[in-house]
Amino acid sequence: MKKGSDTLNSEKKMVRLFNKTVRHWKRVLRNHFKKEDISDIIDDATAEFLSIASRLPDIGGKSNFLTFHLIEAAVILAYYKVLKARNINVDEIGGITHDVIRERVASYPSFLLQLRGAYLTSGYCRKQRKRQAERSQKKEYPGDWVYSFVEGDGKTFHYGIEYTECGICKLYESENAREFTPFLCDIDYITFGAFGIDLHRTKTLGKGDDLCDFRFMMEK
């Protein structure tokens, strides 16, 4: 972690971020492992996450909304590494991860999820995303996403984002976890669906395409 990042410069802060998701992982892991094994997995994943966190690139700290996506991807990466070391196959780890995300999303009140969806399709958010997309084109941070904003017509979609570089892909590549990247791509459908947003996407960098073509529309 670079000292310039105001989000990633405290080990205690990173542990707190990691611990916010532990209860969801525990609940899902109960379906796959014995109680004593789960404690070991959590402990090992905590240590692995702190190791990964020490190598996370600075992509602008709090000024970049994608910083927290990078941190969340690092949490998942830690569990992936720990479970793979226990000879769990990648598809099973992917299934566990998706169940954890569903568990986490289900823990939020429905009105908060709806508010999140309304925000993400609001005019204010569109302006923010457009400005952030323009900034990303400067490629100030090598580990960051690079993307462009696509204006919507309000009928077929509100707006779109096209990523030509992905911070998660870069992180997973550097951590020798490229095989698990597609499972991160699929998480988007779980989260945006919970927000009441209809996500259309035909390509993703994580699955080997030349870009990720996100299109967002509020579900009717």
Can you give the pLDDT at residue 220? Answer: 58
Are the CB atoms for 58 and 4 separated by under 8 Å?
Answer: yes
User: CA distances (Å), 110 to each of 64, 104, 116, 190, in order?
Assistant: 27, 12, 10, 14
Residue 3 placed within a domain: no
Closest C-alpha among 67, 25, 70, 69 to residue 46: 25
Count how many domains the chain has: 1
Question: Domain range for residue 175?
Answer: 11-218
Residue 1 placed within a domain: no
Residue 6 placed within a domain: no
Can you give the pLDDT at residue 86? Answer: 97
Can you give the pLDDT at residue 6? Answer: 46
Can you give the pLDDT at residue 9? Answer: 53
Q: Where are the alpha helices (DSSP H) in the chain?
A: 11-19, 22-29, 35-53, 67-85, 90-106, 110-120, 123-136, 167-174, 181-194
Can you give the pLDDT at residue 7? Answer: 44
Residue 92 placed within a domain: yes
Residue 2 placed within a domain: no
Give the pLDDT of the chain (220 residues) as one tens digit per residue. Answer: 443 344 445 788 888 889 999 999 999 999 999 999 999 999 999 999 999 999 999 999 989 999 999 999 999 999 999 999 999 999 999 999 999 999 999 999 999 999 999 999 899 999 999 999 999 999 999 999 999 999 998 888 999 999 999 999 999 999 999 999 999 999 999 999 999 999 999 999 999 999 999 999 887 5
Residue 194 placed within a domain: yes
